[in-house]
Amino acid sequence: MGKPMAKNMLSAGYDLTVFDLNKASIDEVVSFGAKEAKNIKELAAESDVIITMLPNSPHVKSAVLGVGGVIETVKEGTILIDMSSIAPLASKEIAMELAKKGVEMLDAPVSGGEPKAIDGTLSIMVGGKKELFEKYKKLLSTMGSSVVLCGEVGAGNVTKLANQIIVAVNIAGMSEAFILAEKAGVSPELVFNAIKGGLAGSTVLNAKAPMIFEQNFKPGFKIDLHIKDLNNVLETAKELNAPTFMTSQVMDMLQDLHNDGEGQSDHSAIYKYYEKVAKEEAK
């Protein structure tokens, strides 16, 4: 995700210094016009704005607050924009530690997967001070077509968790409906064409139904990443005493798919879980 996002910033004319554990990704972005930092400390020392895009809360904490991390060399007045999808409480913790160094933070997770990262049309959900949001909205808009302030630090990741609940449940509901149609002898593709313009229509339906019909589960967003996000949902919901009945059920489906070796497949492969159960029940 970070690689195409960096390219879009470069295309918009921003000066960019990059670091990543994947050297091939660094080399590709450098060939596109970026400068390479030797490590995180070097990058932090020479940057006015630092953007992180990492898998989960522990990775962001390590890169920002850990040994050799951003916090060791960051200048007072620097802004950190974390675009990772992590637990909201982790965002708040990181922001509190950075504030001790005179560094402010926005959490700005994204939705849309790699395809929208490539074409710069991500949905970006931001948490932080309004004045910071207004100052850096133009920068964020180089990566996304929708950039919305959702509240204080952590609100961006709360919004992302809500997004991930809705996406997961949508895919599961779509899969359930298509299996029902198939068992009744009705073409799921014809069902899709009939309902997509009505109330059941959605961006999820339009994006994922064709993948199912083509049996194309090349990842735009991997099952293992959705497991990570729903785990953050469940942990946050436990802290807040919020009910997550449907999320818990879809999480079980995703875990079953992971155990079947589908962890690197697109989350539209939830359909394969329904296929598996339908076949077992037919025996």
Coil vs helix vs strand at 50: strand
Query: How many CB atoms neighbour CB 276 within 10 A?
Result: 14
Q: How far is CA 197 from CA 13, 179, 194, 206, in A?
A: 39, 20, 7, 10
Q: How far is CA 255 from CA 168, 219, 230, 231, in A?
A: 13, 17, 11, 11
The secondary structure of residue 162, as a DSSP letter, is H
Which residues is 104 bridged to in the sheet? 79
Burial of 161 by CB count in 10 Å (0-12 exposed, 13-18 middle, 19+ buried)?
Answer: buried
Phi, psi of 126 (to 5 degrees): -115, 140
Q: Which residues are catalytic?
A: 160
Q: Which helix (H) or strand (E) holds 80?
A: strand 79-82
Query: How many CB atoms neighbour CB 209 within 10 A?
Result: 25
Q: Which two tokens mark 248?
A: 């818990």
